[in-house]
Amino acid sequence: MPLYQYPQITIFLNYLKFERRYSPHTLVSYETDLDQFFQFLIDQYNAPTIDQIGSMLIRTWLAGLKEKKISSKTINRKISALKSFFKYQLKSGKLKQSPMGAIIAPKVSKRLPMYIEQKDMESMFKYMDFSSDWQGRTERLVLLLFYSTGMRLSELIQLKESQLDAVQKQVKVVGKGNKERIIPVPAALIEQLAEYINQKPTKEIGENQLFVTEKGMALQPRSVYTFVKKRLSAVTTIEKKSPHILRHSFATHLMNNGAELNAVKALLGHSSLAATQIYTHTTIEKLKEVFKKAHPKA
């Protein structure tokens, strides 16, 4: 493991974990990408020091990834991890110049995000049979909150009771980089969540997680992913059926119903409009579809 030869990796990961408060999933991605790069340096170049790493070494590693048919999207993620790592070395005074300045990321073909049709989402909550036991109630409310707010899986899992404001009908979400944002919540859902909280079987001491299992334990990402996939499989045939698809559906349905782009950006917690603009393309495709079906000359 390169962590022994390069203690800077551990220091950087601790910075992301404790100061930037990155999610466990994101931390694993950073650690994996950095481990792969520095292991390459150890194997091929006898472990050069941080200040000896130049753009040529990085290009050689990236070229090897391309030869292995690694996707452009994955390579870009690895480039991003290296950029963040070397930027931190600059900030810490370990380097005077980053070797990433001359690195150009490969172009990634933009794919429109998958989403569930609005009528299918409505059918799920109107006709799907959710059991009246604690698990059934939890699954239904989790799905409703995902679709009603567009929050990420990590954000929902970490929600505390105190983040829900029943008076203002809103929820405070802590997103990437520990950034907070406020999202409105429908009044009916607020009432259901308040009732859910009051009827919890037990509460985690000092935690007060919003969603818990029948034993009072916090929900785990894997279990949420599993039941979301199962429920969505009953209403849609799209390939991906993850919690993130509900986020895409939230944003797409807002745009299709006339929501302003900056408002959607704020609700999703995007740092720039570029990430949100993909939903504009989805809206345009929807308009083309309507035109094809409705216009006599289409």
User: Is residue 176 annotated as a catalytic residue, yes or no?
Assistant: yes
Question: In this structure, which CATH number among 1.10.274.10, 1.10.443.10, 3.40.1410.10, 1.10.8.60 belongs to the domain 118-294?
Answer: 1.10.443.10
pLDDT for the residue numbered 119: 95
Q: Which of 17, 200, 270, 281 is catalytic?
A: 270
How is domain 7-102 classified at the architecture level of CATH?
Answer: Orthogonal Bundle (1.10)
User: Is residue 244 annotated as a catalytic residue, yes or no?
Assistant: yes
Q: Which of 17, 176, 181, 229 is catalytic?
A: 176
Is 12 within 8 Å of 87 (Cβ atoms)?
A: no
Q: Which of 152, 241, 248, 265 is catalytic?
A: 152
Amino acid type, 37: F
pLDDT for the residue numbered 207: 65
Residue 159's nearest CA partner among 147, 140, 177, 146 is 146
Contacts of 296 (CB under 8 A, 6+ apart): none
User: Is residue 270 annotated as a catalytic residue, yes or no?
Assistant: yes
Q: Please give the structure tokens belonging to residue 105.
A: 């990321």
Mean pLDDT for back-to-back runs of 10 residues, the chain (298 residues): 82 95 91 96 95 96 95 94 97 95 84 88 94 96 98 95 96 90 97 94 71 92 96 93 96 92 94 85 72 72
pLDDT for the residue numbered 54: 96
pLDDT for the residue numbered 204: 56
- How many other C-beta atoms are found inside a 10 Å radius of the C-beta of residue 163? 17
143 φ, ψ to 5°? -60, -45
Indicate the domain borders of the chain. 7-102, 118-294
Q: Which of 231, 241, 247, 265 is catalytic?
A: 247
pLDDT for the residue numbered 6: 93
User: Is residue 279 annotated as a catalytic residue, yes or no?
Assistant: yes
Contacts of 56 (CB under 8 A, 6+ apart): none
Strands (E), 22-140: none
pLDDT for the residue numbered 203: 60
Q: Same topology for domains 7-102 and 118-294, yes or no?
A: no
